[in-house]
Amino acid sequence: MKTILYATDYSQNSVTALHFAHSIGEKLKAQLIVMHVFDIPISLVSPASISYIRKEKKLFVDHRVKLENFCSDHLGDKLHGTDIKIVVDEDGSVTEGIVGKAIKYNADLVVVGTKGASAVREFILGSTAKALIRKAPCTVLTVPEKSVAPKFGTMVYASDFEQADIFAIRKMVTIAKPFRATIKVVHIITEKEYSGDQQMVWFKEMLKQKVEYNKIEFNLIYSDTILIGLKTFLKDTEADVLAMLERGDQGIFSKLFHGDLVTKMESDISIPLLSFTIDGLLGK
Q: Which amino acid is present at 67?
A: L
Give pLDDT, residue 257.
Answer: 46
Phi, psi angle pair for 109, to nearest 5°: -150, 135
Distance from C-alpha of 105 to C-alpha of 281, rounded to nearest angstrom = 17
Q: What domains can be seen in the chain, in order of their start residue?
A: 3-283 (3.40.50.12370)
Give pLDDT, residue 280.
Answer: 66
Phi, psi angle pair for 113, to nearest 5°: -90, 160
**Mean pLDDT across the chain:** 81
Give pLDDT, residue 259.
Answer: 39
User: Alpha-carbon torsion 165, 167, 170, 172, what sign?
Assistant: negative
Q: Which amino acid is present at 72?
A: S
Measure Cα distances from 10 to 66, 102, 150 in Å: 8, 19, 19
pLDDT higher than threshold 70 for residue 138: yes
pLDDT higher than threshold 80 for residue 165: yes
pLDDT higher than threshold 90 for residue 65: yes
CA atoms within 13 Å, Cβ hemisphere of 166: 14
Distance from C-alpha of 175 to C-alpha of 178, rounded to nearest angstrom = 6
Question: Residue 172 class from Cβ within 10 Å (0-12 exposed, 13-18 middle, 19+ buried)?
Answer: buried
The number of residues in the chain equals 284
Q: Between 74 and 149, where is the model more confident?
A: 74
The whole-model pTM stands at 0.85
Query: Are 83 and 32 contacting, i.e. CB atoms less than 8 angstroms apart?
Result: yes
pLDDT bin (cut points 50, 70, 90) of residue 246 is confident
Q: Between 148 and 238, where is the model more confident?
A: 238
3-class DSSP state of 215 = coil
Distance from C-alpha of 104 to C-alpha of 5, rounded to nearest angstrom = 11
Distance from C-alpha of 226 to C-alpha of 232, rounded to nearest angstrom = 10
Distance from C-alpha of 92 to C-alpha of 268, rounded to nearest angstrom = 31
- End-to-end Cα, the chain, rounded Å: 10
**Best CA proximity match to 174, nearest among 118, 213, 132:** 213
pLDDT bin (cut points 50, 70, 90) of residue 72 is very high
pLDDT higher than threshold 80 for residue 222: yes
3-class DSSP state of 114 = strand
Angle at CA of residue 217, ends 209 and 248, nearest 5°: 75
Helices of type H across 211-251: 226-237
pLDDT bin (cut points 50, 70, 90) of residue 81 is low
Instruction: Tell me the residue ranges of DSSP E strands in 132-199.
Output: 139-144, 154-158, 182-189
